[in-house]
Amino acid sequence: MKKIAFLINSLGKGGAEHVALNLAEHFSKTGYDVLLVTSRRGAEEYKVTFPARRRLLEEEIAGAPLGRAGKVPARIRRLAAIWREERPDLIVAFIGKMNLYAMLSTGRPFCRNRIPVILSVRSDPAREYPSRLQKALAERLFRRAAGVIFQTEDAKLAFSGKVQKHSAVLPNALDPSFVRERYTGKRENEIVMVGRLDANKNHQLLLRAFARLQREYPELKVVIYGGGLAGSDTEPALRALAGELGIADRVRFMGRQSDIRRRIERSRIFVLSSNYEGMPNALLEAMATGLAVISTDCPCGGPRTVIRDGENGLLIPVGDETALTAALRRILDDPELEESLGRQAAKLAQELAPEKVCRRWQEEIESRVKEYACSQS
């Protein structure tokens, strides 16, 4: 039995973590021995419902006398030791520094027989590797990976041709709960948002746009699902803004909730107002549910990849309050357009069904690993 290791910062409830666990479960079902290696344990984590072992990097280096400068080499050395102990046949890494750690810990002097590594960039590369040093290091290390998987063509084009030649653009799989018939009954007079409460999601944009048209639609409400992380939670500021705009009684903060499909499927409009995204799972899920969606055309091109403007959703410029107000009014005033956008968006559910997408990932990964093995022989 082949062993596959997945390396990610945590199993916390985020988009990349969800993709990693979906993929790990798929590999487990197809006969792989699965190892999950995370930097830390998240405060709230997805449950692992399939056979898998787990190693926690921060716990394994916890007793070492490390200053801030010593943590990076300590993590790399410990990862290298984990690879020697566990002997995985391949490694799949997700997000930012984890990609770099995967490559550094499998190169010389740590690894005599190089383990094939598949890297996955889950957001705008300019966000994942913000400094010149990180970008240069990523470019250099990515060149010797077995393969690199991006979410959008724009993200892929951020790297050189030497990286692009062994890379691919693959979609995210939906949660199985979103692959079912579209709700067609009476809808609640709600605009919904789903996602972490932080500055990047720019919930303020929706609140300001809603305030401009709230008197025209007295029954309409904004319902926001999601929580914030310690130190970056924007809910207090959003509540204060709603008060200032005079819409506090029309905005509901629902916090983190399970079974989001059931909670949003009767709503009218879903809004993604982010400043940047990779391929936002919340948007894919809302489209698969069959809602009329409005999204910012944010870097690195994720929404633009799935939304055909005016056909299965509406795209607006990042941060454009006037454009969002106009897009909301356009849908609210045209029931036929609202129905058509939702019906066309729902077709995404079959395209992104978990088995179909995970099979594409597995075919890509196994193909890259074979090519890598040939290049090393």
Whole-number pLDDT of residue 371: 94
Residue 157, number of CB atoms within 10 A of its CB: 14
The secondary structure of the chain in percent helix, strand, coil, rounded to multiples of 5, reads 45, 15, 35
What is the number of domains present in the chain? 2
Whole-number pLDDT of residue 20: 95
Tokens of 202: 């720019």
**What distance in Å separates the CA atoms of residue 142 and residue 129, rounded to the nearest whole number?**
12
Give the pLDDT mean for 31-44. Answer: 92
Whether the ω angle into residue 109 lies within 30 degrees of 0, i.e. cis, is yes
Shared domain check, 314 and 365: no
What pLDDT, in 10s, does the model give residues 182-193? Answer: 999 999 999 999
Which tops the pLDDT comparison, 68 or 371?
371
Shared domain check, 326 and 214: yes
**What distance in Å separates the CA atoms of residue 125 and residue 141, rounded to the nearest whole number?**
14
Residue 89, pLDDT > 80, answer yes
Shared domain check, 186 and 77: no
**What distance in Å separates the CA atoms of residue 235 and residue 224, rounded to the nearest whole number?**
10
How crowded is the C-beta side of 85, counted as CA atoms within 13 Å? 9
Residue 18, number of CB atoms within 10 A of its CB: 18
How far from the centroid of its chain's Cα atoms is residue 335's Cα?
Answer: 31
Shared domain check, 246 and 135: no
Shared domain check, 364 and 331: no
What pLDDT, in 10s, does the model give residues 304-354? Answer: 999 999 999 999 999 999 999 999 999 999 999 999 999 999 999 999 999
Shared domain check, 367 and 282: no
The pLDDT mean for the chain works out to: 94
- Name which of 328, 22, 317 is nearest 193 in CA terms: 328
Whole-number pLDDT of residue 332: 98
Q: How far is CA 235 from CA 25, 195, 202, 227, 239, in A?
A: 34, 12, 11, 8, 6
Residue 138, pLDDT > 80, answer yes
Which residues make Cβ contacts (< 8 Å) with residue 130, sequence separation at least 6?
A: none
What pLDDT, in 10s, does the model give residues 242-271? Answer: 999 999 999 999 998 988 999 999 999 999
Shared domain check, 205 and 139: no
Q: What is the dihedral of CA 126, 128, 130, 133, to 10 degrees?
A: -110
- Name which of 1, 154, 207 is nearest 88 in CA terms: 1
Whole-number pLDDT of residue 112: 67
Shared domain check, 202 and 138: no
Residue 106, number of CB atoms within 10 A of its CB: 24
Shared domain check, 290 and 234: yes
Shared domain check, 34 and 120: yes
Model pTM score: 0.90
**What distance in Å separates the CA atoms of residue 100 and residue 135, rounded to the nearest whole number?**
10
Whole-number pLDDT of residue 65: 53
Shared domain check, 256 and 109: no
Shared domain check, 200 and 108: no
Residue 278, pLDDT > 70, answer yes
What pLDDT, in 10s, does the model give residues 15-36? Answer: 889 899 999 999 999 999 999 9
List alpha helices for the chain, DSSP H: 15-29, 57-60, 68-86, 96-105, 125-128, 132-142, 153-156, 161-164, 203-213, 235-245, 260-264, 281-289, 302-306, 321-332, 335-345, 348-351, 354-376
Whole-number pLDDT of residue 52: 97
Tokens of 252: 């509901």
Strands 90-94 and 3-8: parallel
Whole-number pLDDT of residue 31: 97
Which residues make Cβ contacts (< 8 Å) with residue 136, sequence separation at least 6?
A: none
**What distance in Å separates the CA atoms of residue 343 and residue 288, rounded to the nearest whole number?**
9
- φ, ψ (nearest 5 deg) of residue 5: -110, 135
Q: Sorting pLDDT into bands at 50, 70 and 90, what band is 66?
A: low
Whole-number pLDDT of residue 229: 80
Which residues make Cβ contacts (< 8 Å) with residue 46, sequence separation at least 6?
A: 11, 12, 13, 17, 18, 21
Domain that holds residue 150: 3-172+353-376
Whole-number pLDDT of residue 70: 66
For the ranges 60-74, 125-139, 162-176, which has the lowest average pLDDT?
60-74
What pLDDT, in 10s, does the model give residues 202-218? Answer: 999 999 999 999 999 99
CATH number of residue 142's parent domain: 3.40.50.2000
Are the C-beta atoms of 331 and 338 separated by less than 8 Å? yes
